[in-house]
Amino acid sequence: TQLLEQSPQFLSIQEGENLTVYCNSSSVFSSLQWYRQEPGEGPVLLVTVVTGGEVKKLKRLTFQFGDARKDSSLHITAAQPGDTGLYLCAGAGGSARQLTFGSGTQLTVLP
Amino acid sequence: EAGVAQSPRYKIIEKRQSVAFWCNPISGHATLYWYQQILGQGPKLLIQFQNNGVVDDSQLPKDRFSAERLKGVDSTLKIQPAKLEDSAVYLCASSLGGTATYNEQFFGPGTRLTVL
pLDDT digits (tens, 9 = 90+) for A37-75: 998 899 999 999 999 999 999 999 999 999 999 999 999
- In chain B, the residue whose alpha carbon lies closest to the alpha carbon of A9 is B40
For A82, list phi and psi in degrees, rounded to 5: -70, -10
Q: Answer whether B45 sits within 8 Å of A98, measured CB to CB.
A: yes
Q: Does A38 touch chain B (CB under 8 A)?
A: no
Start-to-end C-alpha separation, chain A: 40
Tens digits of per-residue pLDDT, B55-114?
A: 999 999 999 999 999 888 999 999 999 999 999 999 999 998 766 556 789 999 999 999
Note the pLDDT of residue A1. Answer: 60
Question: What residues of B are in the A interface, CB distance below 8 Å?
Answer: 4, 9, 40-45, 48, 55-56, 91, 93, 101-110, 112
Q: Is A89 exposed, middle or buried (0-12, 13-18, 19+ CB in 10 A)?
A: buried
Under a CB-based contact definition with an 8 Å cutoff, are residues A31 and A49 in contact?
A: yes
Alpha-carbon distance B44 to A84, whole Å? 23
Torsion of CA A93, B36, B42, B11, to 10 degrees: 150
Distance of CA B53 to the CA centre of its chain: 15
Contact residues on chain A for B102, CB-CB shorter than 8 A: 30-31, 33, 48, 50, 92, 97
* pLDDT at site A66: 94
Partner B, chain A 4-33, Cβ-Cβ below 8 Å: 4, 6, 30-31, 33
Q: Which chain A residues have a beta carbon less than 8 Å from that of B48? A: 96, 98
**Range list of β-strands (E), A5-68:** 5-7, 10-14, 19-24, 31-37, 44-49, 55-58, 61-65
Q: Which of B42, B102, B112 sits opposite A97 (nearest CB)?
A: B102
More confident of the two residues B52 and A36: A36
- Positive or negative: CA dihedral B54, B55, B61, B62: positive
